Chain A
Amino acid sequence: MLRKVFVGLLALVVLGTAALAANEPVTIDFWHAMSSGHQPNLQALVDAFTAEYPYITVTLTYQGSYSSLQGKINAAVAAGNLPTLAQVYENWVTPIQSILYPIGPYMTMMEVNDIIDGLIPSNTYNGVLTTVPFNKSIMVLYYNTDLIPNPPTTWAEFYDIAKMLTVDLDNDGTIDRYGTALRPAANPEQLLVFLDQAGGSILNADWTEVTINNAEGMAAIQYCGSLIPYTYVTSEYISDHMGQVAMFIDTSAGYNYNKKGAENLQAPYTPYQLGVAMLPAGPVTQGSMIQGTNLAVFNVPNQTQAQKDAAVLLARFLLRAENTVFWAMKSGYQPVTKSAYELQAWKDFVAANPYQQAMSAQMLLGFSQILHPNYGDMRTILSTKFDEIMRSAVSPLDGLNQMAEEIEPLLTE
């Protein structure tokens, strides 16, 4: 009996000490790249978090564009003064995964399982959920509703409509409106969408072999090649060329810019209502690529255990259905958990904003980039070659084989 009392008292002391320790004031730094439009909403979420955990102070630090943030993280890695947590793209942290503090082990199974399936692989390092998704968008189909009453649902329909709507309106020998548009140099993820829909991938499952030029890859690139005569190829945002394009694949995050671009066209173009649909399905899937950043907590000497614990709490807080929905409604990004899509607030939001229906449905079919440490270099190869293919500088099959040849050495580097 005495022993039980002693053990009980000891447990109380330990728990009490832990509770006291947990309530020690702690400040964490959160580096992000959310510009002025998003900052008040991010601040609102952080305020809600600190109201719930009053002993935690979160210092939000805007580090400029994504490339500025990446540069800053790289410098901070070298100098050993990383923040507690930061927004990161997958390929930024794959080379430094050893200094990531895994968030997954501190989450409940329910929380982990709630994350959209397509987002799990791109946040999992060596079998452990290490980072968590934050601001995510998905590629969808935007179209001119005046020209396209029923958006295409298959590759064949997409091709037919693109061909039909590519026209030289004034017969001067120059195409005035293209059926579709691609940004191969700026957005090679468009190629990855076609590749996924054809059942292909850049590498095999264990990253030992380049598979981009297998039969599925060839199907994808030949389809892209067939679209060349009907495709406006540019590196600029399509929102600046809405009059010249009838439909195009672009990120859901660009909706507001694309909408404004369509509604503010001037002569010789006619303003139109922008439609949003799911991507046309390929021969194998109707998948689409999820883009955007994740949250990483850094396991480095300048961050104490209390700071890392607090950062994990913040990451989990941001994943809560009501918070990811708040962020999505305010920012234009998509919710990142399954339960968020079941939340009444989100359903009401989708009902009030019908374009969101396609985005939400597409998000649940999304896939993410591979976590290969050399993905950044692979992406550069993809963008260069895809651009050459779409500008007819090289034939689609030759371009695809060149991609494979150039990616091959990156497997062993």
Chain B
Amino acid sequence: MRSATSYAVRQRAYRALLYILMLLGCAIMLLPFFWMLTTSLKTEMGTMRVPPQWIPPQLHWENYATAWNMAPFGWYFFNSFFVSITSTIGEVITTILAAYAFAKLRFFGKNIIFTILLGTLMIPGEMLLIPNYVTLTRLGWLDSYEALIIPWVVSVFGIFLLRQFFRSIPDELWDAARIDGCSRGRYLWRVIVPLSKPAILTVALFKFLGSWNAFQWVLLMTNSESMRTIPVGLMVFSSDIGTAYHLLMAASVMAIIPILVLFFFTQKQFIQGIARTGIK
């Protein structure tokens, strides 16, 4: 009896310690968001105080209006949504098709082509910026939605991730479907895709996040305000000699809201997809 009690106490202590550690981890993760939120409500001078002022004595909600009016953020939001959504849809479609081919079809040179594709992941994106810029210039796509969307509707990482997932689906399903007279295309869209929802959602989320946060590409490929997205728009608050942190943070809070909403609604699938495909 006594040993059972001591076991229960030990379990509780262990649990308490676990929760404390998790809360600590949570606090560390949330701290930058908290700083962003409080800084967005400070005065410019308040942001420069040393040591930092965690809770401002007065909340300056007007920072949000000021930040919003300093640049055409309405346009930036529209562009961010439009570019992120269209490139996500495009990538999901191309990725499903390519991943299915690499996972389930037999064709000459499959493994070599897949290895070459994986090899391209080793090339730093920065190295390709200027060659891509030259290509898009020659295509006459600079400063257009084509430049922001089309080069990003294919992702080798997404193909790899989905291929791994598709490979885990037993081939017996295809045999059964074939006996029932199902075509390859129908099997893909009616069987494979529904079974792979978590992985597909993970690919879509990665894409949406990457596209929403894209900075260097958008900056390089666009010139007019009407083509730029939120991350590029945030630059208006920084200069070579300093940054208006209160306004930058106000604009950043506005910029991350869609991402937070998206994550809250899809976090279950997101975690499942990551866990099942073994990608960290």
Contacts and interface: CB of A to CB of B under 8 A. Distances in A.
B45 A264 contact: yes
Interface in B128-148: 129-130, 133-134, 137-138, 142
Nearest to B242: A257
A67 to B, nearest CB: 10
A65 B241 contact: no
B239 A34 contact: yes
Interface in A60-103: 61-66, 68, 71-72, 74-76, 78-81
B244 to A, nearest CB: 8
Contact of A36 (B48, B51, B71, B137): B71
B241 A79 contact: no
A203 B238 CA distance: 35
A71 B48 contact: no
Interface stretch (A14-22, A234-242, A339-347, A381-389): A234-242
Contacts of B133: 75-76, 78-79
Contacts of B45: 260, 263-264
Contacts of B70: 36
A326 B220 CA distance: 31
B134 A78 contact: yes
Contacts of A81: 137, 142
Contacts of B219: 63-64, 68, 72
B133 to A, nearest CB: 4
A35 interface: yes
B50 interface: yes
Given A81-B142, A254-B242, A264-B45, A71 B236 contact: no
A68 B235 contact: yes
Nearest to A293: B240
A266 B232 CA distance: 34
Residue of A71, A79, A251 with highest tally of chain B CB at under 10 A: A79
A226 B237 CA distance: 39
A253 B241 contact: yes
A301 interface: no
> How big is chain A's contact interface, by range?
35 or more
B134 A79 contact: yes
A243 interface: yes
Contacts of A257: 48, 241-242
B49 interface: yes
Interface in A349-367: none
A29 B143 CA distance: 14
B119 to A, nearest CB: 24
B130 A75 contact: yes
Nearest to A75: B133
Interface string A243-271: 10000000101101100110111100100
B51 A266 contact: yes
A241 B134 contact: no
Given A61-B224, A68-B219, A75-B220, 14 more contacts: A35-B236, A35-B238, A36-B237, A62-B236, A63-B223, A65-B238, A65-B239, A75-B134, A78-B133, A79-B133, A240-B48, A253-B240, A260-B45, A264-B45
CB-CB nearest 8 A-B residue pairs: A36-B236, A79-B137, A35-B239, A75-B133, A257-B242, A79-B134, A264-B45, A64-B235
Interface of A: 29, 33-39, 61-66, 68, 71-72, 74-76, 78-81, 237, 239-243, 251, 253-254, 256-257, 260-261, 263-266, 269, 332
26 contacts: A35-B237, A37-B239, A37-B244, A39-B236, A61-B223, A64-B219, A64-B232, A65-B239, A65-B240, A68-B235, A74-B130, A75-B220, A78-B133, A79-B133, A237-B242, A239-B48, A239-B242, A243-B50, A251-B241, A254-B242, A256-B242, A257-B48, A260-B44, A263-B45, A264-B45, A266-B53
